[in-house]
Amino acid sequence: MKIILNSAYVGNYGSNEGNLPHEVINFFQADNGNFYIYITPYGKLKPGLEVEEIRSILFVRNIGNGVVEILAKAELDDTSELFIKNLKFKSTSQKHLGKDLEEESKRIYEERIKDIKYGKKSIQEIHKQNIRDNDIYVTMKVEGIYFPKKPIYVTNKKGQHTKNFYFLNLKKITNQSMIHYIDEKKNKSCYQTLEHMITEKENWKSKKETKKYDRKELEKNHIQENFFHVARQQNNEVMFSNLFYYLFGKYPALLKQFLKETIHNFDEKSFQNYQMYRERNHMDLCIISDAYYIIIENKIKSAINGIKIRENEKSIESQLSTYYEEAEKENKEEKRKRKIKGLLLTPNYNHIDLTNFKYKEKYTSYTYKDIYTLFKSFMEKNKEAAKDIYFQEFVKALKKHTEPVDNEYRDELLKRLDMRIKEK
């Protein structure tokens, strides 16, 4: 048996607005009530692989640093079937029939998929306008498509696997072919890890929650365009950190309100004569006052860096422990007793578990949803901020990072799907 890891929404195909990636169907139920999937990059499985040999298919996307996120899983049963068959010749003498057999196979395939529709439009009609096409729109019919109840990650980095991080002892989780076959015998430990993740009921929603295409429902989730989005910098940690630095500096009241929310028993009276720094000792933001030394680390897509796992030590050293020790060192050198506080800012979909990290008790996690709520409320109440174009655009840019799953690219593709289905 094999478990398949298949990368979705990658490569240059979907970056061209004239193309609609075929795997968009992997996240909907068809109009006829069935579930169909497309395997990237070309819609085909390994030659000779039969449906009966596939345990499950996991659709993943690479989020960097040896980590992939599980977008959905496709389960198979006795009704599952391949739509693309690899041509096999019983003898050398039959090879001259290759072209005729290929044309016949294509004719049969087109006939089989003609009634597969989304929003009352056939799969062929939806994709025929693509600038670049490969004539394959459906790989197979499956029992069901299931979404995670909460973000699930797979990593090949030791020390990062926790409750929602599953560790695979592989050199690479994804590869250029976009498809990775985890064999039950050849990759026994990896297969067992994925099997556990697949069968854990707490991980998955019901397939009833995988809805049919509904334009009104999709329009509710369309992204509000902003400068970051248009410039394709919506995941740029440096730019977001720069804006935090700029707006906290321009609006001291916002900074103090932010610190009240994030630091337990924050003493505003003792927060005097503070200096704010950007990239001081590699810290994203650092705020130093007479009584406080505040470290702010901003993570959008990335995980914690600088990880060092030493033998016989219970906790993991990382960039966070380095920053804390640097703050301690400065306190000692300056003979100060400033309170050292660490803040970790993350989008709601980027779950970073600090359980096994050194000085974990010194850091507090604060989500982008909380930041968005704070910034939006401040902007609505502050006349200057309400007129500040940078403030306005930053609040819009924060919105997408408040969701439990980052679906921005998928939302972009759904807009294209919506346009295709609406066209007569």
Q: What is the pLDDT of residues 111-160, one digit of tens each?
A: 888 899 998 888 888 888 888 777 788 899 999 999 998 888 888 876 55
Q: For residues 280 and 297, is the Cβ–Cβ distance under 8 A?
A: no
pLDDT for the residue 64: 66
d(CA 354, CA 347): 15
d(CA 175, CA 12): 15
d(CA 282, CA 359): 18
- pLDDT, tens digit (0-9, with 9 covering 90-100), for 347-367: 988 878 888 899 999 999 999
Which residues, 6+ apart, have CB-to-CB distance to 188 below 8 Å? none
pLDDT for the residue 90: 41
CB neighbours of residue 366 within 10 Å: 18
pLDDT for the residue 74: 95
**Would the pTM of this model clear 0.75, i.e. be above it?**
no
Q: Three-state DSSP class for 417?
A: helix
Edge-first strand order for the sheet with 81-82 is 35-37, 140-142, 81-82
d(CA 60, CA 5): 7
Q: Three-state DSSP class for 169?
A: coil
CB neighbours of residue 402 within 10 Å: 16
pLDDT for the residue 217: 64
**Alpha carbon 10 to chain centroid distance?**
12
CB neighbours of residue 281 within 10 Å: 13
Which stretches of the chain drop beneath a pLDDT of 70? Answer: 15, 64-65, 85-102, 158-164, 215-224, 405, 407, 424
Write out the two tokens for 133.
Answer: 């096409």
pLDDT for the residue 257: 95
pLDDT for the residue 102: 67
pLDDT for the residue 93: 46
CB neighbours of residue 140 within 10 Å: 21
pLDDT for the residue 84: 72
DSSP letter for 97, please.
Answer: G
pLDDT for the residue 223: 58
pLDDT for the residue 48: 83
pLDDT for the residue 86: 46
pLDDT for the residue 55: 95
